[in-house]
Amino acid sequence: MTARTTYLLLALTLLLSACEKYSGQTPTLDLLSILGGDETDGFERAVDIRQFQFPADHAAHPGFRNEWWYFTGNLASDDGRHFGYQVTFFRTSLSPQAHSEAPRSSWIAQDIWMAHAALTDIKDKRHQAVQRFSRTGPALAGAAVDPLNIWLDDWQVISKPGINKGNEFPWEVTINTDNFSLQLDLTPLKSPVLQGDRGLSQKSPTRGNASYYYSYSRLLTTGLVRTENIDHTVTGTSWFDREWSTSALDTGQTGWDWFSLQFDSGEDLMYYQLRDLQGNADDNSQGSWIDKTGGKTLIKQQDMQLTVLKEWHNDDGQAYPIHWQMDYGNQSWIIEAAVENQFMDLAVPYWEGAVEIYDPTSMNLLGRGYLEMTRVIPI
């Protein structure tokens, strides 16, 4: 997963001017100026291999410009219904240093937080997404450990047992929106995987255009999903991604397709395909194959072949592939969106949703996963 959806400055612009309802214009996203190299002075860069430490690295890394905590998962209820969910906390720094003129206010908006929550009801073919924004202070949003606490208002992830220093699993994810609620306990079934080269995930050849990236690829998930005023007791598996960076994309990179797949046989697969101006796969695309015990194999761009079988178009006519054929080594799968329209029609628009994995010949269901697609219209 690369530098995901941090057009936060732009979202902020939208918010401040509150012009969404007035201008009615779809903003043109200048992703490169945000995720590119312009405003990086003073921020730390993902350059060297670093030593990851847990649980300390679950907390925010304020020296870097962008950071996120990404939970996705597929859940099944007692009565046979299937749900996909996504809960994400994004942090972006407006400035490497906060101004410190006295008297100091705790509202100083050095960091801006955005959170997304989405629920896909596969049976009803329904997808709902909600966004939130906040600044950090005073204690409105943040990510900390000892005890573990990732929150924006009353949306939060905390350690359920909360013993010792309060970072232990299971973690409890609590989301309440007007239309749905999630109350989920997450327990990892595999150790965290360091993506890329020992956790340094290079996104483009320019030095520093990289992120630090680790994943919990399989977490046992139990809890409650409440939608349309009905509680569903659910179980399933989740995926937790952590990534922080200052700049990632280079000129010519215009978006990505990111897969997180969990096979019923116990293996997991992560792959992101960066796209160039023509929509072709960029050389820096990569991923990992995680075996049943958590052992990782790097997937390089030349090992992976992705073929689009069917596209879905949003209201603006933007195409998002929803049926894929994935060929990795000698294996081949059909990846199909569980619901066609899982478009996140938010201040930062993208397609993100639950997918199903099929055997291309028998069309047997082999597993489930999540797919994220971002498209940037070049200016």
Partner 1 sequence: MSHHKWQSWLSFTGIALGVTMVVAVDLANSSARRAFSLSLESVAGNVTHQIIGGPKGIDESIYSRLRRELAIRNSAPMVTGRVHIGDQVFRLIGSDPFSEAQLNRHTLNISRGELPALLLNPTAVVLSERGADRLNLSLGETFKIQIAGRESEVILAAIFSTDNEAATDGLIFADIAVAQRLLQRPGRLDRIDLVLGQGNPQRLLGWLPDDLKLVESETRNHSLQQISEAFHINLTAMSLLALLVATLLIYNTMTLSVIQRRHTLGIYRTLGVSRREIFALILSESLVLALVASTTGLIAGLLLGQVLVQLVTRTINDLYFSLHVTAFLIDPWSLLKGFTLGIVMTLLSTLLPAWEANRTEPTAVQQRSVLEEQWRRRLPLFIVFGLISLLLGMFLVRQNHDSLLEGYAALTMMVLGFCLIIPSLVVWLSRAVLLLTPQSLVIRMAVRSISAGISRTGLAVAALAVAVSVTVGVGVMIGSLRHTVFVWLEQTLNGDIYISPSNPNDIGSISNLKRDLSNVDGIRLVTSNRVLDIESEFGPMRLWAITPSGMNIRMPLKDSVPEATQLFYSGEGVLISEPLAYHRQLGSGDSLSLHTLKGPQQFPIVGVFYDYTSTQGLVAMQRDLYRHWWGDESVSGLTVYGDEGVTPDALLNATRDIIGNRQAQFQLISNGEIRQVAMRVFDRTFVITDVMRMLAVLVAFIGVLSALTALQLERAREFGILRATGMTPGQLRVMIMVQTILMGLIAGLLAIPLGLMMADVLIEVINRRAFGWSMQQILPPIVLVQAMSLALISAFLAGLYPAQKAATISPAAALREE
151 binds partner 1 (CB under 8 A): yes
Distance of CA 174 to the CA centre of its chain: 17
Piece of 99-107, 231-239, 245-253, 337-345 that binds partner 1 (CB under 8 A): 99-107
24 binds partner 1 (CB under 8 A): no
Is the CB of 172 or the CB of 336 nearer to partner 1?
A: 172
Piece of 7-15, 76-84, 214-222, 230-238 that binds partner 1 (CB under 8 A): 7-15
- What six digits make up the tokens of 139? 């204690």
- Distance between CA atoms of residues 255 and 3, nearest Å: 9
Piece of 53-61, 153-161, 225-233, 349-357 that binds partner 1 (CB under 8 A): 153-161
Least Å distance between CB 180 and partner 1? 14
Question: Shortest CA distance to 284 belongs to which of 241, 327, 248, 319?
Answer: 248
Kindly tell me the burial class for residue 206, based on how many C-beta atoms sit within 10 Å of its own C-beta (0-12, 13-18, 19 or more): middle
Mode of pairing for the β-strands spanning 286-290 and 126-135: unpaired
- Give the chain's radius of gyration (CA, Å): 20
15 binds partner 1 (CB under 8 A): yes
Note whether 171 and 185 are within 8 A (CB).
yes
Least Å distance between CB 11 and partner 1? 10
Helices (H), the chain: 8-17, 20-23, 31-35
22 binds partner 1 (CB under 8 A): yes
105 binds partner 1 (CB under 8 A): yes
Choose which of 80, 138, 205, 317 interacts with partner 1 (CB under 8 A). 138
41 binds partner 1 (CB under 8 A): no
107 binds partner 1 (CB under 8 A): yes
Piece of 130-138, 160-168, 250-258, 354-362 that binds partner 1 (CB under 8 A): 130-138
Place of tokens 């999540």: 370
Choose which of 59, 76, 109, 306 interacts with partner 1 (CB under 8 A). 109
Print burial letters for 99-111: b (CB count within 10 Å at least 16), e (below 16): eeeeeeeeebeeb
158 binds partner 1 (CB under 8 A): no
Least Å distance between CB 234 and partner 1? 22
Choose which of 59, 126, 133, 220 interacts with partner 1 (CB under 8 A). 133
Query: Positive or negative, the Cα torsion across 163, 166, 172, 176?
Result: positive
Is the CB of 139 or the CB of 379 nearer to partner 1?
A: 139
Choose which of 33, 40, 176, 191 interacts with partner 1 (CB under 8 A). 176
106 binds partner 1 (CB under 8 A): yes
Question: Shortest CA distance to 282 belongs to which of 304, 305, 307, 301?
Answer: 301
Question: Shortest CA distance to 201 belongs to which of 247, 238, 240?
Answer: 247
CA distance between the termini of the chain? 24
- Distance between CA atoms of residues 376 and 326, nearest Å: 23
Least Å distance between CB 253 and partner 1? 24
Bridge partners of 288, per DSSP, are: 270, 298
Choose which of 2, 5, 7, 12 interacts with partner 1 (CB under 8 A). 12
Q: What is the DSSP string of 95-128?
A: -SS---PSSPPTT--SEEEEEEEEEEETTTTEEE
Least Å distance between CB 307 and partner 1? 41
224 binds partner 1 (CB under 8 A): no
Least Å distance between CB 138 and partner 1? 5
Least Å distance between CB 13 and partner 1? 5
94 binds partner 1 (CB under 8 A): yes
Query: Which residues would be at the binding site for partner 1 (CB under 8 A)?
Result: 9, 12-13, 15-19, 21-22, 94-95, 99, 101-110, 112, 132-135, 138-140, 151, 153-154, 156, 176
